[in-house]
Amino acid sequence: MTGDKPAFARAIGIDYSGAETANSSLKGLRVYLAEVGAAPQEVAPPPSPKRYWTRRGIAEWLIERLAEDIPTVVGIDHAFSFPLRYFEVHGLLPDWPTFLDDFQRHWPTDADHTYVDFVRFGTAGNGAAREGSPRWRRLTEERSPGAKSVFHFDVQGSVAKSTHAGIPWLLFIRRALGDRVHFWPFDGWDVPVGKSVVLEVYPRLWSADYPVEDRTPDQHDAHSVAAWLSTAAADGRLLTAMTPDLSPPEMALAQVEGWILGVPWEPSKKPNRTVMPPAKVGRTRSGGKTTKAGYVNKNGQEVLRATDLPGNDQNQVVYVLRCGSCGHRYGANGSDIWQRKCPSCGGGNSGVGVLTRLAEGGNIGLTRG
């Protein structure tokens, strides 16, 4: 996306809901549209006995809009993918199109008369074969204050139901439009000139910047997304927000897990639940064993979790480590953890396992086979 002319001519903000079924009229589903640089206006659903949008109706309306020869940026308020741990546990290729197909087969929440909870509790689909833990979080969620795990159901502010209800409709749109639409960042970080883009947003990042006026919370969230995308496309901030300042392994990881537009690329400088202060280096809540989650070695490298993947040392598996200084994540043999240095900022050896292979592959599609 280059040149003085904005890359997009209009912006669409969607506040999503995972309630009830794909054909249910939901007050929580709201759509706002703005010509780039102009104020957003709410879009009402097509005339019908139903007062509010349905998830199916939004998907069909988006297909019509994105098929038009008008470059459009669409922000939708639910996650587009799952943490890397989900792919590891279920033996899936770290490939987003493959994930979409596999998820829809197990979680057919786009089907008529199907609630998300029907799949969760075994009366539809096969959700038991594709479950996740609320402890699993994507890198973008770890760097976004307040963002919850895509598997954290039944709590206030949860995005889990919206995500599990919405992902099959991303597949629906993708199948209908093919390469006419770019899903960011899965199809690449750069959007080809003249093409529309669909991306994940978190309204909380922008909603406080706009007066609420007489809008409901759902209306205000959708309005805020459309307003920010519209002005950011006009003044260049959108391009900056879509251009990552991530390490190659992090960029590759984000093309599997997705990224929330506007979430900082850099990790927080404050100590948190996964970066322990220097005084605790070499110690862990689990008794000092170097392969236990929470262990931090003398160089400030923390163990996040074990994987089921083989390492490149004899009888070793790969562990995911994170640098306490720069936040870089990489794979290491269990036997190396005690002495590991960060490959990004500490002069350490290259990582091993899936994170490194993803980085070397660049485009996630290159990791096949």
For every residue of 214-275, DSSP letters joined together read: T--HHHHHHHHHHHHHHHHHHHSHHHHHTS----HHHHHHHHHH--BTT--SSPPSS-BTTB
User: What does the chain come to in residues?
Assistant: 369
Q: In the CATH hierarchy, which top-level class contains the domain 10-81+136-257? A: alpha beta
8 A C-beta contact, residue 346 and residue 323:
yes
> What's the per-residue H, E or C state across 39-86?
CCEECCCCCCCCCCCCHHHHHHHHHHHHHCCCCEEEEECCCCCCCHHH
pTM of structure: 0.78
Range(s) of the chain covered by CATH 3.30.420 = 10-81+136-257
pLDDT in single tens digits along all 369 residues of the chain: 444 567 999 999 999 999 999 999 999 999 999 998 899 999 999 999 999 999 999 999 999 999 999 999 999 999 999 999 999 999 999 999 999 999 999 999 999 999 999 999 999 999 999 999 999 999 999 999 888 899 999 877 679 999 999 999 999 999 999 999 999 999 999 999 999 999 999 999 999 999 999 999 999 999 999 999 999 999 999 999 999 899 888 999 999 999 999 999 887 654 343 333 333 444 443 345 888 888 889 888 989 888 777 778 777 888 888 888 888 888 888 888 988 999 888 888 888 866 666 655 544 333 222
Which of 28, 23, 31, 69 has the alpha carbon at shortest distance from 49?
Answer: 23
CA-CA distances (angstroms) from residue 290 to 57, 130, 277, 300, 353?
A: 52, 30, 17, 12, 18
